[in-house]
Structure 1
Amino acid sequence: MANIKKGDLVEVITGKKQDNGGDRGKQGKVLEVLTDQDRVIVEGVNYVTRHNRVGQTQRGTKTGGIETFEAPIHISNVALVDPETKKPTRVGHRVEEQVKDGVKRTVRVRYAKKSGKDL
């Protein structure tokens, strides 16, 4: 079971500090999880600029120019944010029983462990 999923609030825990133009300490929502590469795309973090060559489509409209977008960041460089303390925390799993339509089922559930001073 994955520790970080799409839609989770995460914080960048490595890299340059924000004072030096980095992303460490920034929080954002996970837009996409790239499981085969062990990377995540986080909203508002790791912006890169791509220069696309100017071209034309069949209709004659111009394409290209400079675009900025979020690049993937390695999953080990982010930590899940505890919803109560708003600090980065570790993720645990516990086994619970759910009753759905009269059927008992064992399910693994994620929970935020107690967040310490700093991670």
Structure 2
Amino acid sequence: MNDFPVKMGEEVVIIAGKDRSRADKVKAGKITSINRKTQTVTVEGLNISKKAVRPSEANPEGGIVEFEAPIHVSNVMTKAKYDARSAKKA
């Protein structure tokens, strides 16, 4: 897949999944990383997951760590395209 629908640093809206945007709440963020092999993107501040981490030298306390999980590219849309679509519906 040579052409990708989104680019690094682009403002996107999540359209499917647990953090999807509703008519009254638009959840948007910038793309921080793209994995072309798995066709996933990581969006800043969205799709937060928690993971239990065992104590180690790097993290002596262990505990629960929050991180931004990747989301499939088909579940995001550029903010400009989303705004145009919502304006068309209104």
Specify the TM-score bucket, using the shorter chain as the normaliser.
Answer: 0.7 to 0.9
TM-score (normalised: structure 2): 0.77
Structure (1 or 2) with the larger CA radius of gyration: 1
Amino acid at match of 1:12: I
User: Counterpart of 2:74 in 1: which secondary structure?
Assistant: helix
Partner of 2:24: none
Partner of 2:20: 24
* More strand by percentage: 1
Instruction: List runs of 5+ in structure 1 lacking aligned partners.
Output: 16-21, 90-114
Instruction: List runs of 5+ in structure 2 lacking aligned partners.
Output: 22-26
Partner of 2:7: 5
Displacement of 1:63 in angstroms is 5.2
**Aligned-partner Cα distance in 1 for 2:13–2:39:** 16
Partner of 2:45: 44
CA deviation profile, 1:29-76 (whole Å, cap 9, x unmatched): 00000100000000111110111111236xxx7252221010000000
**Aligned-partner Cα distance in 2 for 1:37–1:56:** 31
Q: Which has the higher contact order (CA 8 A, sep 6+)?
A: 2
1:78 to 76, 79, 83: 76
- Aligned-residue identity in percent: 38
* More helix by percentage: 2
Q: What are the within-5 Å matches in structure 2 for residues 48-59 of structure 1?
A: 48-56=49-57
Displacement of 1:79 in angstroms is 0.3
Contact 1:56 1:63 in 2 (8 A): no
